[in-house]
Structure 1
Amino acid sequence: MNWVSSLCALYDANAYRAGEVERWKGKDLVLLPIGYDTMEAQVEIHIDQNGNFIRARTLEKDEAETLVPYPDSRASGIKALPLFDGLSYIAGDLLETVTFYFSGAKNEKDKKKKKARLRESFPLYIAGLKAWCESPFSHPKVAAIYHYVGKQTVAKNLIDSQVLVADENSIVSDKIKIQNASVEKAFVRFRVFTNDNNSPDSILSDPDNAHDSAVWLDKTVQRSFIAYYSSTLHKKDLCYMTGEHMPIAKTNPVKIRGKWDTKAKLISANDESNFSYRGRFNTKEKKTGYNEALSIGYNTSQKAHNALKWIIRRQGFSRDGVCLVAWENALRDLPNFHDSAASILAKVSDDGEADEAEFEEEALFEEDEADVPVTNYVSAAKFNAALDGYASKLSDISNMVVLALDSATPGRLAITYYKELKSSRYLKNLRTWHESCCWKHEYIRDKELKVYEGMASIPEIALAIYGTEQGEDKSNPKIKLSKNSDNKSPMLVSAFERLRPCIIEGAAIPRDMVRAAVLKASNPLAYEAKFNYRKVLHIACSMVKRLYWEKKQRNEREGVIFKMELDRSNRDRSYLYGRLLAVAERVERVTYEKGETRITNAERYMQAFSHAPFRTWTMIWSNLQPYMRQLKPSGREFYKNLVGEITEQFKYEERISGDPLDGKYLIGYDCQRSELKRKPNGQSSSEEENKKENNEGEE
């Protein structure tokens, strides 16, 4: 199926939800009925079933969102909406009641035009409402609204209700705002109260919500408008998406990624002048909006766009220009491919813990990791068990759709990625990604250090590779990505685009991203916070591990599957040099006083060491001797033996080679660091004694 077919199928499967506001994970969610959109209302008017005014009030922001009939013809000449609209359309007495200064007008001629436009607004609205009420699809609540607005007392009623308030000169002016909206643009919705005597049981059991005074939530009103508007669509043509003859869409919906997205369209051909050559096809007809070159059915367009809006708000991810969504055909919960292993497990765990803190948001950067208690450890086995739990709920026909959106300009929206695959394959590829990248990662929540095995999230990877420490607070620096003039991060968008196929399709990890991660991890002096550097180091190790795992799958000579534990049998030159660097760092650090955070020589020379290890190691070893002399004899002997043991595993010509190290040295470095920090069963007794003597603290 193409993306339109997939979205139409999603809409049809959930059509029973259309028009019903659901509470979903703390937010209101609604699948828009065909021909509907949402608007922010500022004014609510209450009337009875006979069209008599009861009261009016202003609306707060958290209750303002309103389902509104929004016909396709709105952009084709008919400016008035059929039911709810701005005061300039609904209040027939607005010009006689409110004093308009037209402060934005350039001259008197401009003021006359604005006044004439206001005078034409109410007749357009009342004519449209009359046509609906006189059609076979009329509705009593719509008729009540028609009778009320026909009296042309809306503005007067709003003044009496103190919604429109006079200024200090007792003049109701257009300069007065209603919930930050100008008087003529203040959007109005209606409640219609009926005299029906219904039992509470009948009201609660009504699936159409017909007893609710909120007209915008009444499904019978929604169906009434859909039937009425469909009866006005006479011209039919071939829908290129479905192959059926049906009424054709003249325009296509907006607000796809969110209510702020008021301009970007997925399908648009708004180039009536200076357009590109279209061959023998006619151009768009200005009166009807139809185009001979391409036609899309109205229902098809509405279903596809409304389903996409709904699924994005339900389970989509949007940040810095990135907008992506994945769903299973039966809407079963499946893990997000862009999440970390800890986030995926947290969503199925009993404790309901939220996703781990990311660099730029909630993480607390502790200098002394020994002071931060480890309260949670997520092993690879737990993660795999979680994926097995997801897989057990799937049917044989379960399919997954992954879709990504982006906009190069405010008016154009594009699908940058679309993939359909079996849900079982999706989970298999997700498991492979986390297994092939498996490393120990850390995050801090509520001052508690938490560790998990797997891979970090895509935003965290982007921060590690492309981010820099920023912020005036030196005690808690944060890693952030640079942003452009649109306040978007191009590097985050790039990370999603390039890593998405690796996770979903099993594609090769980009080599340049691995190199960038290794370079970042080779420069610990760029990070004030040790926690930040450890995050960067561990993500680099994950990416290096994935790179050589891929080579192993292709049976290349360099291919190897690295373990997270120290491999004493590994004789790779880079791996061994990484081990030596970790030993040098440890020797110096164990001599520090408790709480001392001074940079070690190993860290200071790390970048140079990765380029010229043999020459740099000579300097590091020479600078290490004063610290060796501070150790107890047993400790000194232990580290000398360890260095000798590692050195003996080198091939002589490789040890003295001037070639730079590859990313495997970070694997050896981190594994050796972890081995030397084990307590007490994995640690030498000589070092334990030396720690007690020097009262040293962890980094």
Structure 2
Amino acid sequence: MSWMRHLYDVYENNVDQVGEFKTRGEGQRFTLLPVSHVTQSAQIEVLLDREGNFFNATVVPKEKARTIVPATLDSANRSGSKVAAHFLHDKIFYVAGDYLKYGGEEKRSENFSEYIKQMKDWATSEYVHPKVTLIYNYVKQGTLIEDLVKEKVLFVDENNKLIEKWTAQDDKKYGIEKPEIYKVVTGQSSEALVRFTILPETPDDVVIWEDKTLFETFQQYLENKMNETSELGYCYITGETMPLTERHGSRLRNAGDMSKLISSNDAKGFTYRGRFDTPSQAVQIGYDVSQKAHNALRWLIQRQGYRSDTRNFITFGVEKPADIQPFDGTTDLLAAYWGTETVQMKQEDIDLVIAEQVQQAFQGKKHNFELEGIKNIVVMAVDAATTGRLAIVYYQELDSALFLKKLTHWHDTCKWYQNYFNTVDKKVVNYPGTPSTYHIVESIYGERADEKVKKELYTRLLPCIVDGAAIPKDIVRAIFNRVKNPMSFNKDLSNPIGEWQRTLNIACALINKQYEKEEIDMVLDHDNKKREYDRDILFGQLLGVAEVLERNELNRRDEKRATNAMRYFNAFSQHPARTWLTIRRQLHPYQVRQGEKVGYYNKLIREIEASIQESDMNNNALGPKFLLGYSSQIQALYTKNDQKEENTNDAN
């Protein structure tokens, strides 16, 4: 279980981050949780004054609902009808002493007794916190629902019973719109989680669920209780003797995630049959180790994880978390290297600059790793097989130098001309780069593909990036078959950065990766008379010349339609010799209109045709490298035209 040891080490190496809140994405705050605490989504916030009296209450917006709650092993793992109260903050039917008075269910009659018993034990112990005492003195009065009704946070009917759910008829019945509490609670209103805090004395006072001193106080209190009751044993993770646990953390991917990586509650099923009598015979894990390892994984997922459907991918350094994304493309890497500044450059500078700066970016990462002492990198992916079981579906440990070497190799071999729009020159700039895995997945399956299919592709691509494995042939075949049908794409085909063009670029990068041992050059040398390329590439070049020749004439006449090369693209890939004769005939009108300008294209077509062996001029279907020939030929012709225009402008 090296994964657990590494996560435990991550926690120990980043203990200074406990209780330090950060934001990511859409402003969702997160922190490295203290031991014996869980996160819950609160719907009601109750504010007490400095003497512990009710001051006011508000409904908590969903974006601010995340709350750190002190918890026991029982409460952190409670489910169904099991009575196990959290400390301080919990659902109404736990913290409200007047729950039954307002029509509460009899089956929950013991919940408040359990909650207040725990609170009293903490509030009267040597590890008590002043804020805990104030909250305990308030909740033991048993007037919470009464105060919330007066504050118009909760609502009662004509029989003074709590309105659990609000219907459209209630709008007319009570003459008000649907109250906020019923918009944030998914079930009954009595299932809303209440969090307590104290009126701040100074602007620097923190709310209770972010108070580090309270975290430490509860940990001391619970540790003392566990030392009195827990069995000591040999922890398989650290090799030390400590209090053990058979119950482990959940809510790893989000606050509502009840699936676990380690579970031992299947004593009547297949887990122990013929093997063990008790869970401890299979594995022994210390309580402190389990808490820290699971909290570290939860923190890493929130801090730097990448999610696809129900699957979370995490890459981290053991000594330092080191936010590294193997799924990043060249532009993502350079954005981090360049910063927020937009770098504009001439097309002829692109190849060299990007190639050099990608290397510099990786050298910078390596330098940072060395400075921070990061030696080990872990790449893992977790997913839920069922609602209660979480599995590690991918796991790899690498030396940091080897990891960066693998990433460098990926960016060096899985690349082709991508493009972006230069906002200064109002031109499309092509650059040699690696597409992000996100764009690869979108290009293969499309935006509307099933998320379950997409997450499997992410997982299959990880070994190609991290281990240097060969790209799966079916992935290349899938995107090749999609690109062969340009007329099935919705975007305007005359748009230079349309959906089909982006997909073609990504397909070429994957094909280039598949044939990396052949070291296919992206740049065509038109002065090379030998043309030592294979049949697929040569046919691709022919179609590329036809595309540019006709597109130039259509652009001159301002016609926005697909060329014959586009319309016959699929047929050409299936029956190249026969289809080329058709395209060749249909090019004639465009050749006539262009006059002397067409001489270069005619010469190029003749040279390429002459390079194809007579035995290869047949109707056997073309392979994926056909796209490389097509793309590189178009790139070469447009680059030549751009350079010609620049020379003309310079002369003027």
TM-score, normalisation: structure 2: 0.85
- Separation in 1 of the partners of 2:598 and 2:633? 17
Contact 1:278/1:293 (<8 A) preserved? no
User: Deviation of residue 376 (structure 1)?
Assistant: 11
Does 1:413 find its partner at 2:385?
no
- Separation in 1 of the partners of 2:392 and 2:484? 37
Superposed, which structure 2 residues align to 1:97-246 within 5 Å?
98-100=102-104, 114-115=105-106, 117-167=107-157, 173-175=163-165, 179-180=181-182, 181=185, 182-193=188-199, 211-212=205-206, 214-233=207-226, 234-246=230-242
Cα 1:34–1:335 shift into 2, 3 Å: closer
User: Deviation of residue 680 (structure 1)?
Assistant: 4.1
Contact 2:313/2:379 (<8 A) preserved? yes
Tell me what 1:462 maps to. 441
1:538 counterpart (505, 509, 529): 505
Between 155-164 and 433-442, report the one with greater CA deviation: 155-164
Q: Residue 403 of structure 1: SS of its match in structure 2?
A: strand
- Separation in 1 of the partners of 2:635 and 2:64? 53
Tell me what 2:88 maps to. 83
Between 36-45 and 499-508, report the one with greater CA deviation: 36-45
- Separation in 2 of the partners of 1:376 and 1:489? 41
- Separation in 1 of the partners of 2:262 and 2:330? 36
Tell me what 1:562 maps to. 521
Cα 1:594–1:241 shift into 2, 3 Å: farther
Does 1:659 find its partner at 2:620?
yes
Tell me what 2:306 maps to. 317
Q: Which amino acid aligns with 1:305?
A: H
Residue-by-residue CA offset, 1:336-384 (whole Å, 9 max, x unaligned): 1101100111123232679xxxxxxxxxxxxxxxxxx999967222322
- Separation in 1 of the partners of 2:612 and 2:541? 12
Tell me what 2:253 maps to. 257
Superposed, which structure 2 residues align to 1:263-274 within 5 Å?
263-274=258-269
User: Deviation of residue 325 (structure 1)?
Assistant: 1.1
Q: Which amino acid aligns with 1:217?
A: E
TM-score, normalisation: structure 1: 0.80
Does 1:30 find its partner at 2:8?
no
Q: Which amino acid aligns with 1:331?
A: K
Superposed, which structure 2 residues align to 1:543-554 within 5 Å?
543-549=510-516, 552=517
Superposed, which structure 2 residues align to 1:617-628 within 5 Å?
617-628=580-591
Contact 2:320/2:374 (<8 A) preserved? no
Does 1:608 find its partner at 2:579?
no
- Separation in 1 of the partners of 2:430 and 2:635? 13
User: Deviation of residue 141 (structure 1)?
Assistant: 1.9
Does 1:580 find its partner at 2:542?
yes
Q: Which amino acid aligns with 2:562?
A: I
Cα 1:273–1:445 shift into 2, 3 Å: farther
Q: Residue 34 of structure 2: SS of its match in structure 1?
A: coil
Q: Which amino acid aligns with 1:52?
A: N
Q: Residue 339 of structure 2: SS of its match in structure 1?
A: coil
Tell me what 1:106 maps to. none
User: Deviation of residue 193 (structure 1)?
Assistant: 4.7
Q: Residue 393 of structure 2: SS of its match in structure 1?
A: strand
Q: Residue 136 of structure 2: SS of its match in structure 1?
A: helix
User: Deviation of residue 67 (structure 1)?
Assistant: 0.8
User: Deviation of residue 560 (structure 1)?
Assistant: 3.3
- Separation in 2 of the partners of 1:525 and 1:218? 60
Contact 1:439/1:453 (<8 A) preserved? yes
- Separation in 1 of the partners of 2:539 and 2:200? 82
User: Deviation of residue 71 (structure 1)?
Assistant: 1.0
What is the RMSD of the two structures over their aligned residues, measured on CA atoms? 3.1
Q: Residue 415 of structure 1: SS of its match in structure 2?
A: strand
- Separation in 1 of the partners of 2:341 and 2:521? 32
User: Deviation of residue 280 (structure 1)?
Assistant: 4.6
Residue-by-residue CA offset, 1:157-207 (whole Å, 9 max, x unaligned): 333333334446776544567622334222222223587xxxx7xx96xxx
Contact 2:46/2:56 (<8 A) preserved? yes
- Separation in 1 of the partners of 2:143 and 2:533? 89
Contact 1:581/1:669 (<8 A) preserved? yes
Contact 1:342/1:452 (<8 A) preserved? no
Cα 1:374–1:85 shift into 2, 3 Å: farther
Q: Which amino acid aligns with 1:163?
A: V
Residue-by-residue CA offset, 1:537-566 (whole Å, 9 max, x unaligned): 1112112222222xx3xxxxxx23323344
User: Deviation of residue 317 (structure 1)?
Assistant: 0.6
Tell me what 1:401 maps to. 378
Q: Residue 383 of structure 1: SS of its match in structure 2?
A: helix
Contact 1:429/1:505 (<8 A) preserved? yes
User: Deviation of residue 670 (structure 1)?
Assistant: 1.2
User: Deviation of residue 442 (structure 1)?
Assistant: 2.3
Contact 1:442/1:450 (<8 A) preserved? yes
Contact 2:330/2:358 (<8 A) preserved? yes
Cα 1:637–1:445 shift into 2, 3 Å: closer
Number of matched pairs? 606
Tell me what 1:369 maps to. none
Cα 1:444–1:124 shift into 2, 3 Å: farther
Gapped regions of structure 1 (runs ≥ 5): 101-113, 205-210, 284-289, 355-372, 468-479, 553-558, 689-699
Q: Percent identity?
A: 35
User: Deviation of residue 35 (structure 1)?
Assistant: 0.8
Gapped regions of structure 2 (runs ≥ 5): 167-178
